[in-house]
Amino acid sequence: MNTSSYSVTTYTPRTVTTLQRAELPAHIKGLSLVNLAARQRMLSQRMILQTLLASRGDAQKFEAAQRSLQIFTESQQHLQDTVHHLEKSAAARIEATYHGPRGVGPLIGSFMQLMQRTLEQIGRQAPGVAESLIELVGLTDRILDALNLATTAFDEVTKAKSEAMMKELAGIVGDIQNVAKEAKVVSFNAQIMAARAGQHGREFAVVANVLSDITGEIDGLTRKAAVLADRNKLAA
């Protein structure tokens, strides 16, 4: 194997919670936590395949494996650091998934370390590559199961958050509808009083009519919001 074109890079996980959103790596921006966690599963399998091909002298696959490891490492750090930004119950769910008694965090960490070590051995044509590859391939099913558990946890957290938002939205819509009903009563009474006042109640009648139009618009908007809430509930 020709190793002259190989360049080994060591990836040290960095804490991304201190970064501004605009400073996040491009591969993280725009992805939901569920999609990011799901992508980790695909990346783990891709890295193993790329590393196996790199061990046979494929320099391009070696570089690709390094890039995949960098993406995987940064994404994993971001996923685990989200506990600092989630609500208490959601944070506890993610924390337990990674660091609980049966948490997957240690296994994922060991996988990244093994991947890094194997790439270093390949890049330097160091002894022990075959053993590391056997260990890496043997870890395939376990790491996939661990990443599946993490994805499920983020999916449950996302769904719970969505349900809470829909419940809050339904409450807000209900409050607006109650206000609109009260405004309708006020508008109706104001129109009656304006009619009784005759010529002296013209300006009052204008205000009453405007209020009536506004309550009509509120009714339309609340109906749209209610339909949207029901649609999202069914989609969830």
Complete DSSP assignment for the chain: ---TT-----------TTS-GGGS-TTTTT--HHHHHHHHHHHHHHHHHHHHHHTTT-HHHHHHHHHHHHHHHHHHHHHHHGGGTS-HHHHHHHHHHHHSTT-SHHHHHHHHHHHHHHHHHHHHT-TTHHHHHHHHHHTHHHHHHHHHHHHHHHHHHHHHHHHHHHHHHHHHHHHHHHHHHHHHHHHHHHHHHHHHHGGGGHHHHHHHHHHHHHHHHHHHHHHHHHHHHHHHHHH-
Work out the number of other CB atoms within 10 angstroms of the CB of residue 30: 9
CA 38 to CA 210: how far, in whole Å? 53
Residue 95: how many other CB atoms lie within 10 Å = 16
pLDDT tier for residue 19 given thresholds of 50, 70 and 90: very low
Taking only the tens place, the pLDDT of each residue in 50-63 is 999 999 999 999 99
235: pLDDT strictly greater than 70: no
Residue 152 token pair: 């499920």
Distance CA 50, CA 111 (A): 15
Query: 236 CB contacts (<8 Å, ≥6 apart)?
Result: 159, 162, 163, 166
pLDDT mean across residues, the chain: 82
Which of 112-126, 136-150, 200-214 is predicted least confidently?
200-214
Residue 143 burial (10 A CB sphere; 0-12, 13-18, 19+): buried
| Residue 104 predicted with pLDDT over 90 | yes
Is the distance from CB of 81 to CB of 137 less than 8 angstroms?
no
Is the per-residue pLDDT at 65 higher than 50?
A: yes
Q: Which pLDDT does position 230 carry in this prediction?
A: 66
More confident call, 57 vs 192: 57
Does position 128 have pLDDT exceeding 60, yes or no?
Answer: yes
Percent of the chain with pLDDT over 90: 49
Task: Give yes or no for residue 27 having a pLDDT over 70.
Answer: yes
Which of residues 176 and 16 earns the better pLDDT score?
Answer: 176
pLDDT at 8: 59
Distance of alpha carbon 223 from alpha carbon 16, whole angstroms:
42
Task: Give the whole-angstrom CA distance, residue 109 versus residue 13.
Answer: 10
State residue 105's pLDDT score: 95
User: Does the structure show a pLDDT above 60 at 140?
Assistant: yes
Pick the residue with more confidence: 7 or 172? 172
Whether pLDDT at 21 is above 60: no
Quickly state the pLDDT bin for 16 (edges 50, 70, 90): very low
Q: What pLDDT was estimated at residue 167?
A: 78
Residue 18 has pLDDT above 90, yes or no: no
Query: Encoding tokens for residue 226?
Result: 């209610």
Q: Is the pLDDT of residue 4 over 60?
A: no
